[in-house]
Structure 1
């Protein structure tokens, strides 16, 4: 098994078959078929199930694919490090919806200018979904809301966010959890760190009885709050990006309202594109 075989195997998987892989690699189909069979023979495992000229990954193939992606990425990182060339390739980056809206535009503009050969694939999601994606190597790095506690993940603290409780402008002052009894909570789905912050502030006595309306964007959340549907906890920096956000802001204690957005990645797995991003953020 060598890197060339792994590259061919990975291309077959990505392209969905021998024919398209051969076209992408500029090889004849028989050559691709032979290399796949040789790889299976050397490993003593069937990598694909074959049915009606279609290939489907076997469990062994799925296991090898993870190793192949890691080995090929490490090979590319070593080549770039030794050659001293500029970062290049695909950089799979994740970010919270709030970070994407309020923090990333300037960061990505500077990054694209500094690393024109890197193609950033940006994925948004909740804190927990992004953390899992980094741990499972579906993302190279991510901007999340909580420093990871799982082993194997490293982090770099970055942006300080101030969270504010928002309600409709007709709502009275909110000074404590007792002032929001009966109100609906508008938030992102489970896995959102800011939702957990608000639920902790509400306390065990209020959380079980609180109705939750789950939405997928801050624009929708702010619009529903403005209409009187319920309350929400959002980063103050996001409100500045929402045009016509006619809501009332209620301050919470600093211990609840101040959070730091970290960048996370897998410990010991820093690609050239990730190192370039970290250096830019440090400046």
Structure 2
């Protein structure tokens, strides 16, 4: 059994037929079939149930599949490491919270693009849960998420500290006054958003139980809905400040224990840190931290 055998096996398991695997691997179906049979003979177990519509992994095949995928990733990282000469280039896929993208990343992205034009950067937004899963599954190289993140396979670096504020319609004078009128609806991102969990805890601590919620996919949608008096939300002060200056919303400060939150960058501990990723993290790191590193 070698890396080539595992690559063929993984392709068949993922695509479901020998023919599709052959097309992806740029070979003929007879070669794929022969490689699978030789691998099964070597291991002494059938790896696929064959049927008229294709092939489905057996129990033994399902046990082998994670190792085949891991081997493929290691080979890909090995090729990238050999090709990486220290000059940032190629593709880089990272993730970010919607709020972090709006508040913190415009300057970072502009600086990075100007300094490293040979890098093709892909930025994907999502909730903390979605982004952590994407990093763990190797779909992105790292992500800015709400901390703390405690996972044995991830390394987390604190990048920014934010102050969360309760955001209401402009005419609301205080949170207490709002709650006296009844439990407000909460306007939030979809499930998995850490700010959403924080907001539910803030309201529960003040006796508001079981608030109804409205889910939105964009920051602009949330702010527009709150400005219209439909409900309340919880956001970093810097994100909501422009709408507050325009008089569209009101910001209500919270006690430090409820307001403080860290934005951390998470990546896999066993992942290859390319020159492109290292340079990106250097751009994102606060200037004070960069100065300390240079001393």
C-alpha separation between the residues in 2 aligned to 1:109 and 1:30?
51
Matched residue of 2:175: which SS? coil
1:108-187 pair list within 5 angstroms: 108=109, 111=112, 114=116, 116=118, 120=122, 122-174=123-175, 181-187=182-188
Distance 1:101 1:94 in 2: 13
> Unmatched 5+ residue regions in structure 1?
none
Offset at residue 106 of structure 1 (A):
4.5
Match in the other structure for 1:278: 281
Identify the residue that residue 41 of structure 2 maps to in structure 1. Answer: 41
TM (normalized to structure 2)?
0.77
Partner of 2:54: 54
**Which range is displaced more, 218-227 or 264-273?**
264-273
Distance change (3 Å), C-alpha of 1:180 and 1:11: farther
Identify which range, 28-37 or 198-207, moves more after superposition: 198-207
- Structure 2, unaligned stretches of length 5 or more? 291-295
Q: Is the 8 A contact 1:46 1:58 kept in 2?
A: yes
Change (3 A) 1:84 1:151: closer
Distance 1:115 1:6 in 2: 36
Shift of 1:32: 1.8
Residue 72 of structure 1 corresponds to which residue in structure 2?
A: 72
Which stretch of structure 1 is more off in the superposition, 107-116 or 272-281?
107-116
Equivalent residue in structure 2 for 1:248, among 250, 253, 265: 250
1:267 aligns with 2:281: no
Q: Which moved more, 1:37-46 or 1:222-231?
A: 37-46
Q: Which deviates more from structure 2 when the two are superposed, residues 210-219 or residues 52-61?
A: 52-61
TM-aligned CA deviation for residue 112 of structure 1:
5.8
Moved more, 259-268 or 90-99: 90-99
CA contact (8 A) 2:170 2:247 kept: no
Would the aligned equivalents of 1:158 and 1:260 in 2 still touch at CA under 8 Å? yes
- Structure 1 residues 228, 6: closer, same or farther in 2, change over 3 A? same
The alpha-carbon distance between structure 1 residues 204 and 61, as it changes in their structure 2 partners (threshold 3 A), is: farther
1:224 is matched with 225
* Partner Cα separation in structure 2 for residue 135 and residue 3 of structure 1: 23
Measure how far apart 1:180 and its partner are: 7.1
Q: Secondary structure at the match of 1:170?
A: coil
- TM-score, length-normalised on structure 1? 0.80
- The alignment yields a C-alpha RMSD, in angstroms, of 3.4
Q: Distance in 2 between matches of 1:54 and 1:204?
A: 56
Comparing 202-211 with 223-232, which one deviates more in the overlay?
A: 202-211
- Check conservation: 2:187, 2:214, Cα contact below 8 A: yes
Change (3 A) 1:233 1:45: farther
Q: Distance in 2 between matches of 1:195 and 1:110?
A: 31
Alpha carbons of structure 1 residues 279 and 44: separation in structure 2 relative to 1, 3 Å = farther
Distance change >3 Å, CA 226–CA 49, structure 1 → 2 = farther
Aligned residue-pair number: 282
Contact 2:172 2:178 (8 Å CA) reproduced = no
State the shift of 1:262 in Å.
Answer: 0.5
Partner of 1:26, secondary structure, is coil
Match of 1:31 in 2: 31
Closer, same or farther: CA 63–103 of 1 in aligned 2, 3 Å: farther
- Deviation sequence 1:63-110 (CA, Å, 0-9, x none): 433322322222333344345435677655332222233334454455
